[in-house]
Structure 1
Amino acid sequence: MKISMQLRYDGDIVAAARQVSALEDAGLDLVWVPEAYGFDAPSFMGYLAARTGRVEIGSGILSVFTRTPALLAMTAAGVDALSGGRAHLGIGTSGPQVVEGMHGVPYHAPVARTRETIEVMRAFWRRDEPVTYDGRTVRLPLPDGDRGGSGLGVPMRLLSAPVRPEVPVWVAALGPKNVRMAAETADGWLPMFFVPEWCDQVWGPSLRAGAAARGPGRGPLSISAGGLLAIGPDAARHRERARGQLALFIGGMGAPGHNYYYDLVCRYGYAREAEAIQRLFLAGDRKGAAAAVPAGLLEATTICGPESYVKDRLAAYREAGVTHLQVAPVPAEGETEAALLTRLKDLCG
């Protein structure tokens, strides 16, 4: 397995980006640059491209509702050129709270929009002919009278030739339909709160259905998943750091009835606990919501323990098909993140 990490964006993001150089020397294979509703990711991807020479750089993630397919294709091709072919494009749908509340774009047909975005981006990267597309959510060129179109648009192609025929496309997906679509069309899958032992139970039918419809030249689906990482005899105590994030996503990332993370935890078998977490979080009791995260879920979604325990967890991720172990490292006292990453690389073999 390769090792990936998400660039921290809850503090000094410039300092975090600079640290990637040290992590690259320690063996980091891929860094994911988040966006959410903070700074835009491509700016920092370009910054990382200039400061590094080997590590691959991915967006984690760009919303398909906030950029047109053409702009996503242009952005990915631009970062790929700046980095010498090291870019990965992670995309997803975000949620209606951000898409409609911040961007003022209707949150409509998310699975169809993701599929059509991928198809249109790849058509632009090919540059073999001007791109036309007549889909449910994307129409190129926009015809007269349709969504305010003037009828003056003409089919176009990318002005600049990409350095690679395609930039690898990763899809962040949790729901059955979206996971099936990702397994069929994407190069990689970005699941959150992934538990390898429960993967087949929760996602197996969707992954197999998507794989059966996958084009023969597409290659196997890559998977980037993992969790909080700490290695050592007392490392299990570091799991507690993940409580707040689990509570935030289960309780606050979406409204009742429309929260992908809440639904996932219910499918894991924690429906009663998920309801309690969401109720407490939405009532303003964040500490209570974090305390309500069950210990079993906390352990299953983290990688914290002595070396023998971590090795067993790595084997489980590998068995579940994970190609890029995505970790949030918590070094031991006196240890650096780079040193912890080196230890992890050794355990991965």
Structure 2
Amino acid sequence: MRLSVPLQYAGDARQLIEQVVALEQAGLDAVWVAEAYGFDSPTLMGYLAARTERLLIGSAILPIYTRTPSLIAQTAAGLDAVSGGRALLGLGASGPQVIEGWHGVRYDRPLGRTREVVDLCRRIWRREVISHDGIYRLPLPDGLGKPLKMLTKPVRDSIPIYLASLGDKNVQLTAEIADGWLPTLFLPEKAADVWGSALAAGAAKRDAALPPLDVVAGGLLAIGDDVTAMREWARPMVALYVGGMGARDRNFYNDLMRRYGYEDEARTIQDLYLAGRKDEAAAAVPAEFLELSSLVGPAGHVKERVEAYRAAGVTMLNVTPVGPDPIGDVRTLREWLG
């Protein structure tokens, strides 16, 4: 099992990256850089490439609506070149609030767009002459464009592609075409009940040439006899996603909490959050949810959580160190993982 961390949104970007440099020395395997509606991900990933030596550097995620497929492929190939083959391309549809509200782009046909973007990226990296007639049309049929192939030669002709997905159709597509899966709010004990059928259906269509699906999931990390209270740090984030990251009738994270069996709690969190009562929404997040979605507590408990993630099929443990000794906790976890 490999070990990764997400680069945090808050704080000075350069200081956060310096912490990642220290974590690399402690045994970290990968770092994931989000975008949402903060700093763009590729700029920070390029800086990480310059400051690190062996870390895999992934986007988690680049929204498929905000760049053309060709630019996505160019960006990943450029990062792969400057990092010496360490790029991971994490993609996702994001949601209509961000795509339509921040970017002013219509949120439509997410499944079809995802499939076409993945296919086009792989073709571009192989330096095929690109013609495509689908949601994306290359070249445009009524203009002066002509079919082109990538001008520069990529370091690798197959950069790993990870998809962020939660719903059944998206997860099935992920298991069919992606190199890896980036779920969020992942509860290992409940994951099979929620996603097992979709993963199996996608795997049945998977190209045998693709590697086994890499599954990236985890949560807060703090190891110690007196750190259990640090699980509470996740409350505001869970409330934000479950309560406010989407409209009342179109919130993928709220749907997920309901599918986990917390239907009443999910409704309450959303009602409170949308009413502006964010602290009460955070307080309504179930303690069990926080425990199952984290690796916080005494060493024996954290070891049990690691094994729960492993049993759920997680192959890259993605943790957010929040304890008093984050580098020491990552080093300890690395030793446990082998």
Which TM-score tier does this pair reach, normalised by the shorter chain? over 0.9
The structure 1 residue matched to 2:211, chosen from 219, 224, 231, is 219
Residue correspondence of structure 1 range 48-87 to structure 2 within 5 A: 48-87=48-87
CA distance in 1, matches of 2:213, 2:140: 33
Amino acid at match of 2:138: L
- What does residue 285 of structure 2 align with? 293
- Alignment of 1:111 with 2:103, yes or no, is no
Amino acid at match of 1:107: Y
Alpha-carbon deviation of 1:63? 0.3
- What does residue 245 of structure 1 align with? 237
CA distance in 2, matches of 1:143, 1:344: 54
- What do you get for the CA RMSD once the two structures are aligned? 0.9
- What does residue 21 of structure 1 align with? 21
Q: Is the 8 A contact 1:311 1:348 kept in 2?
A: no
- What does residue 336 of structure 2 align with? 347
Q: Deviations over 1:167-224 (max 9, x none)?
A: 1100000000000000000000000011111111000000000101000000100011
SS at the partner of 2:67? Answer: coil
- What does residue 131 of structure 2 align with? 132
CA distance in 2, matches of 1:67, 1:103: 10
Alpha-carbon deviation of 1:344? 0.9
Alpha-carbon deviation of 1:119? 0.4
Q: Is the 8 A contact 2:230 2:323 kept in 1?
A: no
Residue correspondence of structure 1 range 196-275 to structure 2 within 5 A: 196-275=188-267
SS at the partner of 1:277? Answer: helix
- What does residue 148 of structure 1 align with? none
Amino acid at match of 1:52: T
Q: Is the 8 A contact 1:230 1:304 kept in 2?
A: yes
Report percent identity of matched pairs: 56
CA distance in 1, matches of 2:185, 2:71: 29
CA distance in 1, matches of 2:19, 2:225: 27
CA distance in 2, matches of 1:235, 1:93: 35
Amino acid at match of 2:319: V
SS at the partner of 1:204? Answer: helix
Q: Is the 8 A contact 1:232 1:307 kept in 2?
A: yes
Alpha-carbon deviation of 1:235? 2.2
- What does residue 98 of structure 1 align with? 98
Number of residue equivalences = 338
Alpha-carbon deviation of 1:234? 2.1
CA distance in 2, matches of 1:20, 1:235: 22
Alpha-carbon deviation of 1:102? 1.4
Residue correspondence of structure 1 range 323-338 to structure 2 within 5 A: 323-332=315-324, 335=325, 337-338=326-327
CA distance in 2, matches of 1:104, 1:154: 28
- Normalised by the length of structure 2, the TM-score is 0.98
Alpha-carbon deviation of 1:343? 0.8
CA distance in 1, matches of 2:55, 2:336: 20
Gaps of 5+ in 1: 145-150
- Normalised by the length of structure 1, the TM-score is 0.95
Q: Is the 8 A contact 2:227 2:323 kept in 1?
A: no
- Alignment of 1:315 with 2:307, yes or no, is yes
SS at the partner of 1:98? Answer: helix
Q: Deviations over 1:99-148 (max 9, x none)?
A: 11111111001111111100011110111x3111122x21211212xxxx
Q: Is the 8 A contact 2:35 2:61 kept in 1?
A: yes
Gaps of 5+ in 2: none
Amino acid at match of 1:138: Y
SS at the partner of 2:194? Answer: helix
Q: Is the 8 A contact 1:180 1:210 kept in 2?
A: yes
Alpha-carbon deviation of 1:74? 0.1
SS at the partner of 2:88? Answer: strand
- What does residue 174 of structure 1 align with? 166
CA distance in 2, matches of 1:230, 1:16: 18
Amino acid at match of 2:98: V
- Alignment of 1:37 with 2:37, yes or no, is yes
CA distance in 1, matches of 2:63, 2:220: 24
Alpha-carbon deviation of 1:252? 0.7
- Alignment of 1:141 with 2:139, yes or no, is yes
CA distance in 2, matches of 1:102, 1:308: 44
The structure 1 residue matched to 2:273, chosen from 250, 257, 281, is 281
Amino acid at match of 1:344: L
Query: Which range moved further: 78-87 or 296-305?
Result: 296-305
SS at the partner of 2:218? Answer: strand
Q: Deviations over 1:299-340 (max 9, x none)?
A: 1111111111111111111111111100011223xx3x2111
CA distance in 2, matches of 1:251, 1:316: 27
SS at the partner of 1:339? Answer: helix
Q: Is the 8 A contact 1:63 1:93 kept in 2?
A: yes
